[in-house]
A and B are shown apart, each in its own frame.
Chain A
Amino acid sequence: MPGILTPTETERRPERRPQRRTDDPDHGDHGNGRRPPTDKRTGGGGDGDNWNDRPQGSRGPREKLKRYRLGVFFALAGDLMFFVAIVSAFFVSQASGRFDAYNNYINPWLPTAIPPVLWLNTAVLIISSVTAEIARRKMFHQFDVMEEWFGLGKPTSRRAMPWLAATAFLGLVFLAGQWLAWQQLNVQGVFMRSNVSSHFFFLITGVHGIHLVLGVGALVGALLSLRYSQQVENRQIIVDCSVWYWHSMGVFWIFLFALLAFFQ
């Protein structure tokens, strides 16, 4: 491969694919307009190492990041349907009763009084979302990314790691709080099998808890990658995707908590 682009090649390119925006390296990423300096590989435009010469989907870090992010969003859309199904079952069960032998209409739904610790848990989860977002932004801080690109250590990891660790810790605190709420209900004699509403209380907190366990797992994976992964793109992707997942679980919880607290 020639070290620099020869004039003939430069002239051939636009002729081969006329009037394509992507021929212009400056328009290679038609994304959100903020193209980080790491989008272009060094080696400068003539080694066949340029944006246009690499296949779609693996041209630059931004493109790969957006692919993974989109995957997470699709998965979260499916997950949203999972919760929507459970919440609709909640409303259907709440509204349905039966007739007994004397033709009296009976609705055995007894609202489950939520333990007050849930308010605290909700606050913890909201705070954890804030720390997660700070960690995510640290990964994209332009000066730090550029320093990494010049080979001056891993400042993005160094700055993001405490915030991410704090998020994982707060997540564990939330899970412990949920466990405490279950214990408090059990002490009051309320179990999953007690009433239709308690079925739903334990089911909803349970499946949301499983999602958060997976989320803490993702955060721990992200922490490990911050420690061990050399490539800044990969670290950005795993932190970004874990954090978006974490935010969504926070938003899901706010709705689920509102459902349990106010709509029983």
Chain B
Amino acid sequence: MSANPTPNPAQSRSSATQKPRSLFSADHRTIGRQYLLLALVAVAVGTVLSLLMRLHLTWPDRVLPFHGPILPEDYLALVTFHGTLMVFFVLTTAPQNGFGNLILPSQIGARGMAFPRLNCASFWLTTLSMMVLLSATFAPGGGPISGWTAYPPLSAVASAGPGQGMGMDLWLASLTLFSLATTMASVNTLTTVVRMRCDGMTWNRLPLTVWGWFTAALLSLLAFSVLLAALVLLFCDRHAGTSFFVPMGDVVNGVLQDAKHGSGNGSPLLWLHLFWFFGHPEVYIAILPGMGLTSMVLANFARRRIFNYNLMIATTLLIGFLGILVWGHHMFVAGLNPFAGTAFSISTMAIAIPSSAKVLSWLATIWRSRPEYRTAMLFALGFVSLFVTGGLTGPILAQPILDQYLHNTFFVVAHFHLIMAMAGAFGLFSATYYWFPQITATAARPGRLMSEGLGRVHFWGTILGAYATFLPMHITGLEGEPRHYAQLTGIPGQAGHLMAKPMLMQTHITYGAIFLVLAQIPFLVNLVWSFRNGRLAGENPWAATTMEWKPGLFLADLADETSPEETISVYRGPCDYRDGNNPATFHPQWVSESVAE
């Protein structure tokens, strides 16, 4: 039942040969896949680094093969690379640019992104940025050691430690390139959503995934520009003798910095303001596409309309808006004015309102619906679970007085790993299982599904591993285990006595982390196996309503743009499942009448 006649295969093959598959292709699907591949490399490297950190925390005396013992500066370099790779090259790149490029144009009924060549340029700029970042490993002194937040004055002074010279410069260069690439990509996304929607695709008929990408693109446009400004200021402090962030009388490694940084009056707090003005929206850039996807996947497998669709659009925008007003909650102990702390505390707790509205809508959507528990659905449910678990510690950390104690402990590590890293990863997993036919389909070969059996093993392993790793961190954090310390065992005196208790749990957390990493093996096997041998997806395997599953759309968008072809139209909002009279039918966005499942 399609509005389109299916083009014959011979015709489609000939149209495919007109577009050579090159590395520098401007085709949005190719670029989306390239982004996903880049993110896969980044997440693999980042995961290995986190495992090394865990192993070092638990068994600090072990010697790494081909490297030797992990020195404190090595540990801090691991922290920096892990954070930078995961935050920028996985959680920003994969949901927003990877799946965004792959799916967004089809979901709004467009043939492609608004600026295909700009899109290609932003991908290769991102790749270059990652190569520059990884090259910092080989810089004299090793990689930068100031973490992904790069707080000055230590990040502004080359003599602050090994890796703070050339390594830090490469880090700055990498992030500068990344900011430019992301700004370009978000300009592209925004213009595509505003100008390229097909006939009938009104704003409140846009799928929530598109709303997620749109809001995240708005945020990254605003946030990454500010990061770029902060990076320029830091660069000037390092190389132009300015003192934006270096205070007067600052002594680093026994050397007074005044002569090098003019007659400065710099303030590290200024960096914190600029950085977190970027850094907090960054969290929502990573999670908003996942939220949108969760809504759509839950509705799809529960065969339900999304509970209060318009409110979900509003909460997406509201989370985005409030997300740029809360940056100060990262700075409660940094010497912020206490009144400002209160204001930021209130705005932070206000974010709990739209977030809770989202959780309630997710639960109401699936309530007593007897959903079909496919792997994509399981990961979407896992997203909800992790979002709630990680979110509940948010209002606790939003209290300035509680944060005095909890700041820089593993409690914070547990909080953001559950809500940002794990929930973000579950969103990505759900997207991978759900959209695997879209990832694998080309004009020459049909789309395939991932194996459900391996998927289940992957899901249960991952959710158990995630909780086993990150839940105990709340406890060690409450007991006082600090972040960013290379070694907490074998400390003499009172400090060692204080650390003895949280150290008991280290082995357990490390085994949890190893289990979590091993649980990803079924996923990798599944990816490789299903790519060649997965079950053929056919048209619309999930009986979904959104436009990316419209039969023939994919072939239409390979066809020459100027050739006369069928127009694409949308007749209704998404998630119009289950006709009142006949529960076996549903209404895809692209047809005017209902379709049997």
Contact = CB atoms under 8 A, between A and B. Distances in A.
Nearest to B233: A89
A20 B202 CA distance: 13
A77 B221 contact: yes
Interface stretch (B80-88, B260-268, B411-419): B260-268
Contacts of A98: 247-248, 265
A57 B195 contact: yes
A52 B567 contact: yes
Interface residues of B, number: 56
B188 interface: yes
B2 to A, nearest CB: 14
B111 A55 contact: yes
A48 B567 CA distance: 11
A79 interface: yes
A192 B226 contact: no
Interface string A2-21: 00000000000000010010
Interface in A117-154: none
A255 to B, nearest CB: 15
A73 B188 CA distance: 11
B262 A74 contact: no
Contacts of A81: 221-222, 225-226, 229
B191 A196 contact: no
B273 A92 contact: yes
B235 to A, nearest CB: 10
A56 B195 CA distance: 8
B198 A78 contact: no
A93 B114 contact: no
B199 A85 contact: no
B221 A74 contact: yes
A63 B242 CA distance: 47
A interface, how many residues as a size bin? 35 or more
A37 interface: no
Contacts of B110: 55-57
A208 interface: no
Contact of B241 (A77, A79, A192): A192
A193 interface: yes
Contact of A75 (B109, B183, B226, B262): B183
A176 interface: no
B274 A85 contact: yes
Given A56-B196, A78-B187, A89-B233, A48 B244 contact: no
B199 A17 contact: yes
B565 to A, nearest CB: 7
Contact of A193 (B190, B242, B568, B569): B242
Interface in B498-518: none
B270 interface: yes
A234 to B, nearest CB: 13
Nearest to A41: B562
A56 B226 contact: no
A186 interface: no
A195 B187 contact: no
Interface in B215-248: 221-222, 224-226, 228-230, 232-233, 236, 240-244, 247-248
B564 A196 contact: no
A58 B112 CA distance: 11
A217 interface: no
A203 interface: yes
B565 A53 contact: yes
B195 A75 contact: no
Given A17-B199, A196-B264, A70 B194 contact: yes
B115 interface: yes
Given A93-B265, A195-B263, A74 B191 contact: yes
A162 interface: no
A78 B183 contact: yes
Contacts of B273: 92
A78 B242 contact: no
Given A57-B114, A92-B273, A108-B263, A192 B196 contact: no
B325 to A, nearest CB: 15
Nearest to B194: A70
B277 interface: yes
B282 to A, nearest CB: 14
Interface string A74-106: 110111111111100100110011100000000
A27 to B, nearest CB: 12
A113 interface: no
B197 interface: yes
A1 B564 contact: yes
B188 A193 contact: no
Nearest to B232: A207
A71 interface: yes
Contacts of B262: 193-196, 199
A70 B191 contact: yes
Listed from nearest, the 10 A-B pairs whose CB atoms lie closest are A48-B564, A193-B241, A85-B229, A193-B262, A81-B225, A199-B242, A82-B225, A78-B225, A85-B226, A71-B191
